[in-house]
Structure 1
Amino acid sequence: MALMITDECINCDVCEPACPNQAISMGEEFYRIDPARCTECVGHFDEPQCVSLCPVACIPVDPAHVENRQTLLQKYQRLTDTAS
């Protein structure tokens, strides 16, 4: 599952640098997560770094992008292979 940032975001700038996949960027009003790059930190960490650091808990699972752990691992492998 990719994650999403809700409109409760306070633009604290904590999540963007913590994302190992560069999936987080500033949107028009608040940060957003690119579901094509979000692996929920699978392959990097045991838990999503943005979720663990967010002070307002505004990063839930995106119901429009449901993926299992295997799919997230495949995405991680695809992203890291193209980065090499």
Structure 2
Amino acid sequence: MARKITSDCINCGACEPECPNEAITQGDEFYVIEAAKCDECEGKDEPACVAVCPVADTAIVKA
């Protein structure tokens, strides 16, 4: 299952360089995650994007 970035994203950009799968890109209004590339950082305690996002509780959710 992949993650998705909601409109609660504050566009800080912290998540994009942390994604090992290059699944995160700047969208028109906020960053977006390409579901086909996102594996939620399988094998790690938590996804890299969630670890660095200052508003992860509401901005990065399960798709």
Does the TM-score normalized on the shorter chain lie above 0.5?
A: yes
Aligned residues, how many? 61
Q: Which of these two proteins has the greater Rg computed from alpha carbons? A: 1
Structure (1/2) with the larger strand percentage: 2
Q: Indicate the percent of aligned positions where both proteins have the same amino acid.
A: 59
Gaps of 5+ in 1: 63-84
Gaps of 5+ in 2: none
Deviation at 1:52, TM superposition (A): 1.3
Structure (1/2) with the larger helix percentage: 1
Q: Which has the higher contact order (CA 8 A, sep 6+)?
A: 2
RMSD of equivalent CA atoms: 0.9
State the partner residue of 1:26.
Answer: 26
- TM-score normalized by the length of structure 1: 0.69
- TM-score normalized by the length of structure 2: 0.90
